[in-house]
Amino acid sequence: MNIKNTITSQIELDKILKTNEAVLLYFKTNSCVVGEAVEPKVYKLIQTKFQKISCFSIDMNQSPKIAANYSAFVEPTLLVFFDGKETIRKSRSFSIFEIEEAIKRPYYLIFE
């Protein structure tokens, strides 16, 4: 199940990355219209095609240290981790198709 949650502490994030095989982090701010528009589409993609990925959002204004730790300096930034390792990084302008294609291979290698 990949319920979207907001992460606000590095300790919480470290635990999530250690206990989940696949994690998507969506770095955003509430002032970014593009980030707000793309976010539900990203989560819909994960829910329909990659159900074993757990999704989390991080507000870059509320948690600037977490954003800095992951070099997420532009919004939106999307990171996908498999087995605790960053595997996919997309920032600023990306399509849902790009995300799907990038996730497909590592996802199916691990889960299928």
Whole-angstrom Cα distance, residue 17 to residue 96? 23
| Average pLDDT rounded to a whole number, residues 102-109 | 96
Residues 38-94 pLDDT 10s = 999 999 999 999 999 999 999 999 999 999 999 999 999 999 999 999 999 999 889
Is-above-0.85 flag for pTM? yes
**pLDDT of 2 above 70:** no
What pLDDT, on the 0 to 100 scale, is given for residue 33? 78
Domain CATH for 37: 3.40.30.10
Q: Looking at 7-16, 28-37, 73-82, which range is the least confident one?
A: 28-37
Structural domain for 46, as ranges = 5-111
Q: What is the DSSP string of 15-33?
A: HHHHH-SEEEEEEE-TT-H
Domain tally for the chain?
Answer: 1
